[in-house]
Structure 1
């Protein structure tokens, strides 16, 4: 029996109704499931956080490769089912929770096999053996209506993670990897590229899901950077500048930066800062690179500019 037929029969047998409000679309393409596992590049000592395990199809494949799987599912009915069907997999823990309400750093550091940082070397080691250990990996099939908040939540816990392999809407994937001067380039591009090295690993047609979503998807591999791509003296300020530049993306920087309440800069000061940053005042945010945004925010951080 094919995976699509198995999935339909499984849903029917257990009287499971797909909940659109939770953005539920079950992946039914065996080839893509296998590719996701390949991209995650799991080793026998790896710990994986899986967000949205659904019926556990991918969970089983991950469990065969990794040391520990923390499968986080918000749907109570699916949680009950997963706890029954995944009994043979002793390395899988099902957590009934909203991923946005979980303290990820606290969750993974409480695991007995979680690697801890040595004060002398700064390297991650297994606390029991002293041997170098891997950070946690995330594999997720994200509900498209809440993709960005979940990604931001994951990036806040980036120091405990090595990489994030996520299924997202194709347009969102394009935005993640977009370069300056392209229509997809924006605040999300800069956020992702500041903290990670993103690449679109698989293009996924809507026919790979049950039910079929209205859009095509892609799997994005986000490799967490050891340190941010550029040096921003004040990260909060850096992202305020980014947001201001893209709030109205057709605005020239001299207007975008002076009219936002977040920065509280008058146009005269903005013009002086842009001059020192060697950025023309009529340029738009969509033309600036990460390096230019960092240069700009670092100058704004200097209270004596102008």
Structure 2
């Protein structure tokens, strides 16, 4: 069997703990006939179990050296389809002609996890759910609530699109090489109906980005380039609060006020 040394530039940490692998597969609970996509399958630790479910499995792998290893293990299975390429540039919509068809899985390299999640959210209408292994502190930010120091741009923009569930934590010993940080499994489920729909989600992104650029300042100060004090008040938001004190609904009201003011 070919050996592959994990590459630092790809942020590779290969999962090898059988108990953790089984627990992740149980959480995903894939079924025959489903459309699964695995991002960064590595040496196939999860791939075999996903295929055993009877699901159709597309895998997206960037590292050319891993391609022959994956082909050698799984190419004989007609439900296995390998795409060599960068997940950050991959068009996931091509795999899902129907809404809510894709189930995304991945042990994501820490250095691309946030941009990749934002890339996937662009295809949210095609996705049924996502299960990711991420750095534990990233999962804590994804699942954070207002008033918590972890509450910020990532929490708000992901929770705008998805329900977030922090499922369980995974220690460094489950990987080879062992990372210097703890990891966690998160489930993201895109909303069928957005709980707080923005008139223009790009304006929501602008408001959230500006608000958290200087998170220790009040909204009146951080948003002054976008919304003046009367506009913040018109959105039923207290301008003397700091951004981490506002919930998602308040940020959507601010963005809708901005959309109205710039219409």
**TM-score (normalised: structure 2):** 0.96
1:245 counterpart SS class = helix
1:297 has 2:251 as partner? no
**TM-score (normalised: structure 1):** 0.82
1:95 has 2:83 as partner? yes
Q: What displacement does 1:107 show? A: 3.3
Q: What displacement does 1:23 show? A: 0.6
* Alignment coverage as a number of residue pairs: 263
Unaligned runs of 5+ in 1: 1-12, 110-115, 117-123, 125-133
Q: Which residue of 2 aligns with 1:121?
A: none
Answer whether contact 1:60 1:89 (CA < 8 A) is retained.
no
Residue of structure 2 aligned with 1:212, choices 174, 178, 185: 178
In the TM superposition, structure 1's runs of 4+ consecutive aligned residues that sit over 4 Å from their partners are none
Q: What displacement does 1:278 show? A: 2.5
Q: What displacement does 1:228 show? A: 2.0
| Residues 282-306 of structure 1 deviation map (CA, whole Å, 9 limit, x = unaligned) | 111100001111111112222289x
Residue of structure 1 aligned with 2:198, choices 229, 232, 235: 232
Residue of structure 2 aligned with 1:67, choices 55, 68, 79: 55
Q: Which residue of 2 aligns with 1:176?
A: 142
Distance 1:304 1:158, change over 3 A: closer
Q: What displacement does 1:229 show? A: 2.6
Residue of structure 2 aligned with 1:84, choices 61, 72, 91: 72
Larger of the two Rg values belongs to structure: 1
Unaligned runs of 5+ in 2: none
Q: Which residue of 2 aligns with 1:141?
A: 107
CA distance in 2, matches of 1:166, 1:189: 15
Query: Which structure exhibits the higher relative contact order, with contacts defined as CA atoms closer than 8 Å and separated by 6 or more residues?
Result: 2
Answer whether contact 1:193 1:229 (CA < 8 A) is retained.
no
